[in-house]
Structure 1
Amino acid sequence: MNATIVVVLFCLFTAFKPSAATPERLSSNDSFIPCSDLHKINASDRCEFVTNASDCQIEDGYIPYIRFPYCTLNGQVAASVVVFALWISYLFVNVALTVKYYLVPSLDTISKTLRLSESVAGVTFLALGNGAADIFSLVVLMTKVDNDGSFADTAMGAILGGGLFVTSIVAGLITFFYSMGIRLWVFLRDTLFYLGAIIWLVVMIADGEISLAEALGFVGFYVCYVVLVIVSLKFEKGETTEEKKGLLSEESNGSTDSENFDEEESIDESKPKSPDQTIIISRDIERSQSEIEDSVTDVKGPAVATRKDKEKMSVSRLSKHQFRQLLKALWPHTWKDFKALPWYSKIVLVLQEPVRFLLTLTTPVVDYKKPPNHGWNRLLMMFNLVLGPTLAAVAFDFFFQEVKDGLIVGLISLAVSTALALFVALTTYTDEPPRFHWVFAFLGFVMSIVWIYIIANEVVNILEAIGDMLQLSGALLGLIVLAGGNSVCDLIANFLVAKEGKPIMGFSASYGSPLLNMLIGVGLSCILAIIKNGGSYKVKLTAQLSVASGFLLFSVALATLVVTLRHRQADKVLGIPLLISYLIFIIVLLCVEFA
């Protein structure tokens, strides 16, 4: 999130308030009126009301959005909605940016460091990366103090609406444009687990509360799903291995060269399999060689620098090279490349760069897919170690908490962070990642979560302001706005996967991803909310949530029946009804909301 824009907007919200709005005019009774009742207040007094009413104050976040339409724009609600729509779109883009370039590489590195198999990593860490926006939006919503139940409605609406969007729109579009035959066992495994999770969630909502045991049960249900996935994958691999052995034994009986088969196959696998791969490998080698030569040229050393040579480098020349690397990491674009971009790409780049700049300064990235040094940048890592924990302490309101006799958490954090940065400066080299480089992937994961949490807080605060302005229910905002914003990434990712020739993968992800979001999102969020606020998590089954849950059950059940009855075939026969069902859902939902 762009700190500069946040500061400017905050100044706008607070500096341009009408002078007539003074705190003395607000009575003591008005301070306890729900913020959603601001329409009952005289138009001339609404700025004063939203400024002073306790229910209109934000619990977390940095910008008091509800003041913008009534204090800055003098009651221009329509203009405020346009501004909020643009700002919330910008925030969703930043979430996607954080997940793709910072969270996913960290999770990938962690899974490789822990030596997890691809199947285990796929249904745990990598799945968490894909559903991070949905899950942490729920965490923010469900851990807030909920006086009127609007946050609970929005949270349940987001999880049900997001699942409906993905299983209807995303799966519908994929099957509309691509015809495929899918593996029935795998598809039934995902859809039946998802149907069970939906029914369980609806029962808990109808009951009016979610207990700690039920929340833990949701997480345990996902653990059972992960175990089943792992067992089934190992069983399938075992069958495949046996089939291959049988084929090889048959071929060996009629081939004179079978004795050297394994040796030749291993040699062939070590070679590039296509000209494109050869080009990529050669480019990586050239790039790594050029980086080594550049680093050595700065100190006028030989073509290859040994560790002793590095130790002899002068501090001034070494610092010059480090600062060049730092500037390149903070601004990786050249002016020539920027000028060659279309005008709309320039606008997108200018809007994204401040966010990427702050993310780069605070969030370490350890990416094994970036040869030759996995993204190692010594000076940047020192900034990450100092600024990252500081940002986390500020974001979670720990920075100014007093530990003892005037000693605050912020000072302790800065002292420890600075010591770690000095340790990196004294024990590492500029162009050679240390052996403990993988440790920073865990810090990158934590900082990515911090950024997603910060942005999700702002999204939730905007939705709350829009609901109060337009008198919309929290369930409607969750079902359409929050669910749609979080699901856009699934739409783009799954459809692009299908377009690249893997429609089965894109279609299957349309059911696996919502399952993770529901089980882990609701389970984890309820656990944290119960720990924070005590008791059980209160929720109610509104008319809007009833409509959404009914359509979601219909969507998943329809896909299950069609694929099963049509002998594993998924095509337009399934895609068209799914798309139509979502259109009908929107019409029914709006009728229920405004009836």
Structure 2
Amino acid sequence: MSCDSSFFFSDSNLEEKCQLANSLCAQNQIFINYYSIIYCQLNGHWAFFIAIAILVVLIIFRFMSTLVMLYLTPAIEFITDKLNISQSLSAVTLLALANGAGDVVTAIVATETLDGISYNIGSLYGAGFFVATLVVSITIINSQTYIVMKSYFIWRDILFYIFATIVVIIYGIIGELSLIDSSFLLIIYFILIIVVIFQDKFSSKSKKQFDELLIDNPLDPNETQESEQIQQQSQNLHLDSINNQQSCADKSFCVVDVPFRFILKYSIPPSTQVNKYILIFTIFPSLSFIYFVLGSNNYDPYAYLYISSISMILAIIIYTSYPQGNDLPNYYLYIQIYITIVSLVWIYCLSGILIDTLTFFGMLTNLSNSYLGMTIIAMGNALPDGIVTMTLAKQGYAVMGITGAYFGQIFGLLVGLGISLIKTNLKTGASVKFDLFNQDLMQQNLIMIIIIFSTLFVLIITFFYGILKKYHFARDLSVLLILIYVLVLSSITIIAIYEAV
């Protein structure tokens, strides 16, 4: 017997399906065994699940977006300012984490599934393709000013993205990734950080010389000023857009936002305007949540007594040491670090439920994991960044938005895929199979191949377009990118449906 659509749509009795759901199919689920729910509790009424699955996916993306924008991003912004990290360095580290946290955590969680690498390649390259085509094109259209990109965006960011994609293709040709191969993806990102640090150190001199060599006409001084303010303005606009939605003028998600905010309020310490009583009140729920998600499957009830003791001690320390008025305590930085940790645990939990839902949905529809990853997961993870990028364009900060969106995708690819593969290497003690160009698996891998090479093609087009146009992004580029996106999405959808049928 196998856990696939052929068995579940067979004439086998419910008892036999229920046994398979609780045994073999349980390996495909991380947090929620949908197989068991449908065939053991709901007597096989799977059609009702389709509507529920769509609703669950939408709610998870909304929940994750609210979490990132209201808790993770402000916490990381505070850490960046407190540690006095330069704007450029923070863009490729902490702020990249805020933008790419969903992609990274989803990739790590996906390694728990049997076909995790298909999810990862599909979701990471799907998100990158979505940003590099649709988000960039709409940003160009919505921009209130003429877009002149930075020279380092073309020569550093896009080139690193192209190089990383070529490395992934080479691994696909080799057919497997050892621990060293997986680690090399992280090394590429560390090299990018080193390049940024080097540019930061010699920015005033080297950037000027670099631009003079690459472009005949100097960049607009206003653009240079924009670069200096890039992170602070980006975060302010990002948070302003969220605050505007708190009034529920946008009624579409107001109903589900209320319970989201309530749950988050009492499971994560507040990231802004911290009241010591709310902070004290959230210690036990947040610590309990971390243990519940990351703890062993055999939960020890006595563990919550230990958590209660730790919470009491921390509560006394905070109550007696928290300053009066608007002053912040000396340990406020550690509070923000803790908020970041709890936020990432929440994203881990939500990503696991999302993958459980899509895995079962894929079994019912017989759609490939790579297709589900590059459409539903990819668009869901990239959409918040896309909305912020397009909002920045309307405010006149298109360069800032595009640069930030690209960095988020580079971070997701190199760090997310790298960590997830290392995790699999260490867990199995063997190389990860990645027979991308195996003749026998060509039809199965066709969607992955298309999305990888489509992303590479778009990056190369953007690279040469930026050079030929002297870093000016015009509307003819947006038209071309939209056409590529529609063509590729239509092609892989037809292929996925054909394979499913």
Q: TM-score range by the shorter chain?
A: 0.7 to 0.9
Q: Bigger shift: 220-229 or 45-54?
A: 45-54
Gapped regions of structure 1 (runs ≥ 5): 1-29, 243-331, 368-374
Query: Which residue of 1 is the match for residue 108 of structure 2?
Result: 139
Q: Give the Cα–Cα distance (whole angstroms) in 1 for the partners of residues 261 and 11 of structure 2.
A: 43
Query: Which residue of 1 is the match for residue 262 of structure 2?
Result: 357
Query: Which residue of 2 is the match for residue 183 of structure 1?
Result: 150
Query: Which residue of 1 is the match for residue 221 of structure 2?
Result: none
Contact kept in structure 2, 1:389 and 1:413, CA below 8 Å: yes
Instruction: Give the counterpart of 1:565 among 448, 462, 468.
Output: 468
Matched residue type, 1:84: A
Contact kept in structure 2, 1:58 and 1:461, CA below 8 Å: no
Cα 1:512–1:185 change in 2 (3 A) is same
Q: Give the Cα–Cα distance (whole angstroms) in 2 for the partners of residues 47 and 500 of structure 1.
A: 59
Q: Give the Cα–Cα distance (whole angstroms) in 2 for the partners of residues 357 and 401 of structure 1.
A: 26
Instruction: Give the counterpart of 1:424 among 291, 306, 318.
Output: 318
Contact kept in structure 1, 2:179 and 2:425, CA below 8 Å: yes
Contact kept in structure 2, 1:378 and 1:424, CA below 8 Å: yes
Larger RCO, structures 1/2 (Cα 8 Å, 6+ apart): 2
Query: Which residue of 2 is the match for residue 498 of structure 1?
Result: 393
Matches within 5 A, 1:10-21: none
Contact kept in structure 2, 1:47 and 1:70, CA below 8 Å: no
Matches within 5 A, 1:474-489: 474-489=369-384
Q: Give the Cα–Cα distance (whole angstroms) in 2 for the partners of residues 89 and 67 of structure 1.
A: 22
Q: Is it true that 1:415 corresponds to 2:309 in the alignment? A: yes
Matched residue type, 1:354: P
Q: Give the Cα–Cα distance (whole angstroms) in 2 for the partners of residues 417 and 358 of structure 1.
A: 19
Contact kept in structure 2, 1:134 and 1:486, CA below 8 Å: yes
Query: Which residue of 2 is the match for residue 195 of structure 1?
Result: 162
Q: Is it true that 1:383 corresponds to 2:281 in the alignment? A: yes
Query: Which residue of 2 is the match for residue 222 of structure 1?
Result: 189
Instruction: Give the counterpart of 1:92 among 61, 69, 78.
Output: 61
Contact kept in structure 2, 1:47 and 1:71, CA below 8 Å: no
Matches within 5 A, 1:14-413: 30=1, 33-39=2-8, 41-42=10-11, 45=14, 48-49=17-18, 52-57=21-26, 61-67=30-36, 77-142=46-111, 144-146=112-114, 150-178=115-143, 179-238=146-205, 345=251, 348-367=253-272, 375-398=273-296, 400=298, 408-413=302-307
Q: Give the Cα–Cα distance (whole angstroms) in 2 for the partners of residues 355 and 186 of structure 1.
A: 37
Deviation at 1:159, TM superposition (A): 0.9
Q: Give the Cα–Cα distance (whole angstroms) in 1 for the partners of residues 173 and 311 of structure 2.
A: 48
Contact kept in structure 2, 1:187 and 1:508, CA below 8 Å: no
Q: Give the Cα–Cα distance (whole angstroms) in 2 for the partners of residues 425 and 89 of structure 1.
A: 39
Matched residue type, 1:184: S
Cα 1:181–1:341 change in 2 (3 A) is closer
Matched residue type, 1:583: V
Q: Bigger shift: 83-92 or 509-518?
A: 509-518
Contact kept in structure 1, 2:123 and 2:373, CA below 8 Å: yes
Q: Give the Cα–Cα distance (whole angstroms) in 2 for the partners of residues 41 and 241 of structure 1.
A: 68
Contact kept in structure 2, 1:61 and 1:454, CA below 8 Å: no
Count of matched residue positions in the alignment of Structure 1 and Structure 2: 455
Contact kept in structure 2, 1:175 and 1:507, CA below 8 Å: no
Contact kept in structure 1, 2:21 and 2:39, CA below 8 Å: no
Contact kept in structure 1, 2:79 and 2:336, CA below 8 Å: yes
Structure whose alpha-carbon radius of gyration is higher:
1
Cα 1:547–1:390 change in 2 (3 A) is same
Post-superposition CA distance 1:257-283 (Å, at most 9, x none): xxxxxxxxxxxxxxxxxxxxxxxxxxx
Contact kept in structure 2, 1:35 and 1:468, CA below 8 Å: yes
Matched residue type, 2:68: V
Q: Give the Cα–Cα distance (whole angstroms) in 2 for the partners of residues 383 and 449 of structure 1.
A: 20
Q: Give the Cα–Cα distance (whole angstroms) in 2 for the partners of residues 73 and 551 of structure 1.
A: 42
Post-superposition CA distance 1:377-412 (Å, at most 9, x none): 11211122222111111111348556xxxx954433
Deviation at 1:549, TM superposition (A): 1.0
Deviation at 1:75, TM superposition (A): 5.2
Q: Give the Cα–Cα distance (whole angstroms) in 2 for the partners of residues 238 and 366 of structure 1.
A: 38
Q: Give the Cα–Cα distance (whole angstroms) in 2 for the partners of residues 176 and 109 of structure 1.
A: 32
Post-superposition CA distance 1:215-260 (Å, at most 9, x none): 2211111111122123224433346899xxxxxxxxxxxxxxxxxx
Q: Give the Cα–Cα distance (whole angstroms) in 1 for the partners of residues 289 and 174 of structure 2.
A: 40
Cα 1:391–1:160 change in 2 (3 A) is same
Matches within 5 A, 1:509-548: 509-541=404-436, 542-548=445-451
TM-score calculated relative to the size of structure 2? 0.83
What value does the CA root-mean-square deviation take over the aligned residues?
2.9
Cα 1:341–1:492 change in 2 (3 A) is closer
Q: Give the Cα–Cα distance (whole angstroms) in 2 for the partners of residues 49 and 75 of structure 1.
A: 9
Instruction: Give the counterpart of 2:347 among 435, 452, 460.
Output: 452
Deviation at 1:209, TM superposition (A): 2.2
Cα 1:53–1:72 change in 2 (3 A) is closer
SS, match of residue 266 in structure 2? helix
Q: Bigger shift: 104-113 or 68-77?
A: 68-77
Matched residue type, 1:189: R
Matched residue type, 2:394: K
SS, match of residue 384 in structure 2? helix
Matched residue type, 2:452: S
Q: Is it true that 1:443 corresponds to 2:338 in the alignment? A: yes
Percent identity among equivalent residues? 23
Deviation at 1:101, TM superposition (A): 0.8
SS, match of residue 350 in structure 1? helix
TM-score calculated relative to the size of structure 1? 0.70
Q: Give the Cα–Cα distance (whole angstroms) in 2 for the partners of residues 168 and 423 of structure 1.
A: 51
Q: Give the Cα–Cα distance (whole angstroms) in 2 for the partners of residues 62 and 210 of structure 1.
A: 27
Query: Which residue of 2 is the match for residue 294 of structure 1?
Result: none
Matched residue type, 2:3: P
Question: Following superposition, which runs of at least 4 residues in structure 1 exceed 6 angstroms of deviation?
Answer: 239-242
Deviation at 1:41, TM superposition (A): 2.5
